[in-house]
Amino acid sequence: MNKIKIFITFFLLISISPFAVQAQDENPKDYFNPLTHGVPSLGIAPDAKGSGMGDAGVATEADIYSQYWNPAKYAFAFSKAGIGLTYTPWLAKLVDDMDLVYLAGYYKLGDSDRQAISASLRYFSIGNIRLTDYYNVDVGEANPYEASVDLGFSLKLTENLSGGVALRFIYSDLGTSGLTGEDDYYPGSAVAGDLAFYYNNYLMIGNSECLLGLGLNASNIGSKISFDKGNTNAFLPTNLRIGGSLLFPMDDYNTLSLTLDANKYMFPTPPDTRNMDTEEQTAALQEYYNTNPLPGVFKSFHDAPGGAQEEFNEINWSFGAEYAYDNKFFVRGGYFYEHPNKGNLQYFSVGAGFKLNSLQVDVSYLISTVPSNPLDQTLRLSLCFDMDGLRSLMR
């Protein structure tokens, strides 16, 4: 597959074309009706720890990359501050110049240890693409990319419960403005916010004092994004992530944690237009694309054409486990499941980490369980710096 085809396929998923998601299979059981949205890079797990656990992390212990998984967790962070950087070569099996870079950090305010501010920067490059017109004449080079920047605040509401918010600015440039004539796509921008909660508490299981974590993060609640000056608009990947985790201390040095996340997109499901005539199709699709984002959040829980069964199929599941030795050596594994009619992303992931004083290095690797998955063999590398550890080294 050449890069132009990859480029077209990738951006077909941002819902510019209202017919991009209409399946033609006549068997209702096998009706392929995925949820498509703009700025798909916002849904990519940015760090090696969470991705190494099957893309799970809303209820795990606080770490530097909590800005993506659940910003409310920062209020329970052990260190005063931290910063991390992740690099992910994307679709490496197909091309060599697509990548995701993610920078995140936090700082705990005051001496009470009850609140924190946080921020992150995401940059997703889709590489360089040569464009040609209908007659195969070279019209220039496109450099599409997506980027976002956000700021967050978290606060302990009680000794065991915290809340967090984040505000995000999103920018996406398909790189074709001025190159392809009347059908140009222009840069689009949007604003969004996250609302999150995190609860943790110790409980006795047998003779062991285990740490229970529960998390909720409603992310990317905001405006739509347009690439044609407002003529058409795409939904952002507004998402509800809920989950739980349990950390077992095996002895003084060894721990095992298990976590489960459930994810549900909170924007409308495309209508089933297979048995409609052209006029009915046009009306149904126009109503779908004209839905405002906030009403769409509530509509998303009851609007699937297939009823309750299709609504349940829209939930993605992530299960992860992490073994830690002396909080310095980590081994991780997980599984991610998306229903075949909703995209069919299914894969195992494995990962490992090593922590030494102020520095932690993590890696993860994705292993697809379905054929022809371009994300198979995706590798992530994360570097984290603990500011408390760094200060102790400098004394």
Rounded CA-CA distance 64/51 in Å is 14
Q: What is the pLDDT of residues 291-338, one digit of tens each?
A: 999 999 999 999 999 899 999 999 999 999 999 999 999 999 999 999
Q: Does the pLDDT at position 23 exceed 50?
A: no
Report whether 53 contacts 351 (CB < 8 A): yes
- Which positions ≥6 away from 62 have C-beta within 8 Å? 73, 74, 75, 76, 77, 78, 198
> Residue 387 has what pLDDT?
80
- Which positions ≥6 away from 355 have C-beta within 8 Å? 327, 328, 329, 330, 361
The average pLDDT across 47-71 equals 96
The average pLDDT across 241-258 equals 95
Q: Does the pLDDT at position 190 exceed 50?
A: yes
Q: How confident is the model at residue 230 (pLDDT cuts 50, 70, 90)?
A: confident
CATH number belonging to the domain at 3-21+37-394, selected among 3.20.190.10, 3.30.559.10, 2.40.160.40, 1.10.1060.10 = 2.40.160.40
Handedness of CA 95, 102, 212, 218 (dihedral sign): negative
Q: Does the pLDDT at position 274 exceed 70?
A: yes
The average pLDDT across 228-233 equals 82
pTM, two decimals, is 0.88
User: Which one of 153-157, 273-277, 278-282 scores highest in mean pLDDT?
Assistant: 153-157
Report whether 377 contacts 94 (CB < 8 A): no
